[in-house]
Each structure stands twice: as structure tokens, then as C-alpha cells.
Amino acid sequence: MPKWGYSVTGLDPETTVKASGRELRVSPKAAVEVCAAIRGMKLDAAKAFLEQVQQKKKSVPYRKHKKTLPHRKDLQKIAAGRYPVKAAQKILEVLESAESNAIYKGLDSENLKIVHAAAYSGIKIKRFIPRAMGRATPKNENLCHVEIVLAQVGGEV
């Protein structure tokens, strides 16, 4: 059984909470872009943003893999974007888990800010599709890890 860790260190345990989603069936490319979009947001704003992405009302700016992406009207500086609905749904679940951890710890949920949001590739599920003449085509599925850290800003604990 593997031991999972977080990629962020040096956090104050009194004012921060962590949550992670491991081996999620989400595209790592989409999850990285969604995490980059919500990093630094307040908790309420991030939840509203992810719900709007699921309804395809706001797009997520893509900064890395954007060569053939269409432009979106709601993006100003970076015009290329998409609506990664599945990634937004899974990251919203991890965000709500972090919020419930903060409420359990006694932190004020209205003063929480996302200080760390990271997504990276997990294991590959390797399968094969049978083809004619006894051949086979590989069908790989990349899984994804998501980490979110919330910190209380302003106000007292």
C-alpha cells in the first residue's frame, strides 16, 4: 500500500487544511489547467467558477496545450480555452472535502483562500483492443492526483 504525501511543505497546521483526490479518472492536462485557474482564489469564488465551468458559462484558460484550441469571448489576456466539465466536477468534490475539513477544524469558511492547487499524473491503466489478424491496439488511460490546500486569511482563528 503506497503512502501518499503532499507536494507542499512548511504549512502552519493551525490555519491551513489539506485535501487530496487520488487516482481520479480525469485528464491530467485538463486538471492542471483547472488548478492553475483556481489557485489564489477565495473559496466561494472558486466554487462558483467551477460550477459555471460545468454549465459551460465560463471557460478555463489553457496556457500549455493551446495550439489548436479555439478562442473564447470571456477570456481577456489568454484567448484560448475550453470547458473541462469532468475535471471541474472532480476538483469541486476535492474542494468541498477541503472545506469540510476546515469546518471540522474550526476555521471560518468565508475567509478561506486556495494557497496551493496542484494536479499531476497518476498511474496508467493499460488495456488492449483486439483487432483483426490477431493483432491488438493499446488503450491506455491516465489517472490523475489532485491536491488542494486552503489557508485562512484575515480574521482570527
Per-residue pLDDT of the chain (157 residues; tens, 9 = 90+): 677 888 998 999 999 999 999 999 999 999 999 999 999 999 999 999 999 999 999 999 998 888 888 888 888 777 889 999 999 999 999 999 999 999 999 999 899 999 999 999 999 999 999 999 999 999 999 999 999 999 998 765 4
Residue 138 CA, chain-centre distance (Å), reads 27
Give the Cα separation of 144 and 21 in Å (integer). Answer: 8
Confidence (pTM): 0.89
Expressed in percent and rounded to 5, the helix, strand and coil fractions of the chain are 30, 35, 35
Q: CA angle 124-95-48, nearest 5°? A: 120
Domain segments of the chain: what residues?
16-152
Give the Cα separation of 69 and 86 in Å (integer). Answer: 18
Domain 16-152: assigned CATH number: 3.90.470.10
